[in-house]
Structure 1
């Protein structure tokens, strides 16, 4: 219980400015209701049998109700000083008010004097960031005076910890998306060719990767798919990408052999593996030398309508026996030829078989523009969730 503290001015103090900046960085204020927060307030209301439960975020002088479970709907924004949260924002720990009408800090508030005639209030602080800045509260209200015993208060604090982790997870996902955006290959100009691609993660992080760059007048191109999904697959994919970029101008056989030696142990410890198609294109001749490590998801289309699928005879990185040489291959991209390289998530857009590659080829022929083609693949993925990471890369010779 915290008694005898008069309402404080939140204004634009350094603390309020920092709090508002942190709330803005969380990027959840304008997103509307989210089930990850609704679940917490719903459980809180049912667990304590109160008329209302709220998850609030405090700016400089406005309180935003991110989630509420209440018969009477409030907000979504309220002047901070007109709220229990705003008047106790400077207090470090939980605040329990058995009867607000008898507490000089809150007796003049409209929600106490008028409908809904709040009497009981209990709130726990929500903190995020390295400095554990208080950005809001998880709170309970009820029109009947009451209090909380130690076990009840402990439960409310645990729900508050849950809310803090959800807030932090959202911030981490935003930062992670920013990092992943920075890992996308930079655009390259190859006279006589067009190249483009996309990766759509099944969750936040993708275990797929696609990479291309120019070195010694050649285009080096890679598509890889780490087994599994989520954070672990994404970390392994980032490791593979780093190893690739450390060898920017080596021949495909040398690159994949080095990956077998360097990355396979990490994959083994994670009980994972990665398929990979890695090639080097000579733009003048159209010759593409490549190594296919268990990938086999490459479609070559010719301007006369003919097409062929390149199959793999090697095992993925992480499963290929040490000391055994890999096989290599080559093809020639003629004028008007198109190469489509995908991860296995693309097969799930249709029937999970290699015939899905021909379906992709048909999409390309209907709209032989890379941006338009990729937009159509994205639209297909929205209608038919592949349930897996999805990567599509197109290399077309004019």
Structure 2
């Protein structure tokens, strides 16, 4: 049991700022009750037979009650210095207060002198980050004085470890989002053309990928969709992207054939496959040579209003028979023409058919600037959840 030394233990200003930043990065403060935390505080209250159990997060000046099991409802925020958590932030380990009224460090707190008249408190620190910053507590309170036996304290600490891991899961998702953001294609400047795109995962990780890069006067453009969603699809998409970037200047037929050979076995073992459109644009002439491996979700809009959908006659990567050549194609991107290449999540924005491509085309003609157009697509996805990863790429010749 650790005893505090001062009733003002909220920490130095730099420490408080660091703590508040970490709490914000966890992205759980404003998300309301979550069962993964409610389960922990519910078990804690039942296991110890106390009047209340709480999972608290400490910001710079305010304590947020993330989860509480108590007849008396607190918060959701309380001034940090008015709490046991705030006054024990400098303690390295568990804090047990057998009788708060008899302890000068806590006897003046509103929750002690007023309802619910807390006498007993026990709390274990919750730490996150590489430097294990204390961001809150898992704690017990009761209106009757009491203490904890060593085995009881060990159980409370185990529940605290559980809570830390749940908090870290949110931090890991943030870190993963950061990694995935780094896998997006870098902006390129192509005289006479505009290119942009977006990928919105259905969950944390997307099985879609889009990539573009320049080699000399050639623009290489890829959109791929791995079957499935979630972590496994995201890992396979990252594998495909790495294999793709290892061949930055190849002919589309050669690149996709090499991907068949390198990545196809991995997809097969995972009982998955990936559709892909991979093209190389000669920016001078506007000619694009491409291979479409089962993708078939490419809309070409002409400057005169005509449009066509490029369909695929090949099987996806991971399903294409070994030793069989891929079909290739070409198109001419004339001045004023636009390509819109999507994953199948875009079809779910409307009726799940290729008619949805024409809907996107109409949206582009109403808003023929890339960022405003993509913003409208995102807004449509918020109104009509596609239930799948969503990728949209636009290539326009001015």
* Paired position in structure 2 for 1:67: 66
Alignment partner of 1:280 is 2:257 = no
1:280 alignment partner, SS class: strand
Structure 1 range deviating more: 134-143 or 44-53? 44-53
2:124 alignment partner, SS class: strand
Cα 1:104–1:22, aligned 2, differ >3 Å: closer, same or farther? closer
Aligned residues: 393
Per-residue deviation at 1:215? 0.8
Per-residue deviation at 1:52? 3.4
Q: Summarize the alignment of residues 48-59 of structure 1 with structure 2, pairs less than 5 Å apart.
A: 50-58=50-58
Alignment partner of 1:299 is 2:299 = yes
* Paired position in structure 2 for 1:371: 371
Cα 1:4–1:222, aligned 2, differ >3 Å: closer, same or farther? closer
CA distance in 1, matches of 2:160, 2:296: 49
CA distance in 1, matches of 2:116, 2:42: 21
* Paired position in structure 2 for 1:173: 173
Q: Summarize the alignment of residues 1-398 of structure 1 with structure 2, pairs less than 5 Å apart.
A: 2=1, 6-7=5-6, 10=9, 17-18=14-15, 20-26=17-23, 27-28=25-26, 31-36=29-34, 39-40=38-39, 43-44=42-43, 47=46, 50-58=50-58, 62=61, 64-69=63-68, 70=70, 71-74=72-75, 76-80=77-81, 82-103=82-103, 105-147=105-147, 153=153, 156-398=156-398
CA distance in 1, matches of 2:380, 2:149: 54
2:376 alignment partner, SS class: helix
CA distance in 1, matches of 2:4, 2:386: 57
1:35 alignment partner, SS class: coil
Cα 1:77–1:4, aligned 2, differ >3 Å: closer, same or farther? closer
CA contact (8 A) 2:299 2:341 kept: yes
Cα 1:3–1:372, aligned 2, differ >3 Å: closer, same or farther? closer
Q: TM-score, normalised by structure 2?
A: 0.88
CA contact (8 A) 2:289 2:328 kept: yes
Per-residue deviation at 1:389? 0.6
Cα 1:34–1:190, aligned 2, differ >3 Å: closer, same or farther? same
CA distance in 1, matches of 2:374, 2:198: 7
CA distance in 1, matches of 2:302, 2:369: 15
CA distance in 2, matches of 1:59, 1:10: 13
CA distance in 1, matches of 2:10, 2:114: 25
Per-residue deviation at 1:346? 0.6
CA contact (8 A) 2:9 2:86 kept: yes
Per-residue deviation at 1:290? 0.3
Per-residue deviation at 1:319? 1.8
CA contact (8 A) 1:20 1:58 kept: no
Per-residue deviation at 1:135? 2.7
Per-residue deviation at 1:90? 4.3
Structure 1 range deviating more: 98-107 or 346-355? 98-107
Per-residue deviation at 1:257? 1.3
Cα 1:352–1:151, aligned 2, differ >3 Å: closer, same or farther? farther
Cα deviation, 1:71-95, whole Å, max 9, x if unaligned, reads 3434724244x43224444444433
CA contact (8 A) 1:223 1:341 kept: yes
CA contact (8 A) 1:40 1:163 kept: no
Superposed CA RMSD in Å reads 2.8
CA contact (8 A) 2:57 2:66 kept: no
Q: Structure 1: which 5+ runs fail to align?
A: none
1:164 alignment partner, SS class: helix
Per-residue deviation at 1:284? 2.1
Q: TM-score, normalised by structure 1?
A: 0.88
Per-residue deviation at 1:41? 6.4
CA distance in 1, matches of 2:161, 2:3: 27
Cα 1:110–1:286, aligned 2, differ >3 Å: closer, same or farther? same
CA distance in 2, matches of 1:5, 1:193: 65
CA distance in 1, matches of 2:221, 2:55: 48
Cα 1:362–1:42, aligned 2, differ >3 Å: closer, same or farther? farther
